[in-house]
Amino acid sequence: MVESNSEFIIMRGDAFFNNPNHVGGQLETEGLKIRINDIDMGTVSSQTFKVPSHKEFSIPLTVNIPSKKLLNLNTLSSILNSVLNKGMQVQYKGDIKYTLFGFSHQYQIDDIQDIKIKL
């Protein structure tokens, strides 16, 4: 979590990839949705990134969670439980588009991570 105000809570993280191929390309998210503790929170945004050849790389992702969404009793309970247990489950689901030499292909992402909260 990097910022919070009356409208949004802003979270940032990195997505890690490995390109074992001889050529690079471009990568962009297309409506990648995020769920925290099985609750829909918002859509991930990122810029288009160049994919290096033969390298591991990461791209920064930003999620703006509407503060109104947190006023829901189930959401508040889930967040409080996450803070007390110092961890939460984050799911990323949607498509990532990879473009190379003018051709593009979409890859479906459905990944769940357990995130530790540092207080």
C-alpha span between 95 and 37 (Å, rounded): 21
Mean of the per-residue pLDDT values of the chain: 81
Span 87-96, average pLDDT: 86
In this predicted structure, what is the pLDDT of residue 45? 74
Q: Do residues 16 and 56 touch, judged by C-beta distance below 8 A?
A: yes
Model pLDDT for residues 30-44, shown as the tens digit of each residue: 778 888 888 888 888
Its pTM stands at: 0.67
**Domains of the chain with CATH codes:** 3-116 (2.60.40.10)
Neighbouring-strand partners of residue 49: 27
Structure confidence by residue, pLDDT tens digits, 43-80: 887 778 888 999 998 888 888 787 777 666 666 677 76
Nearest to 26 by CA among 66, 57, 1: 57
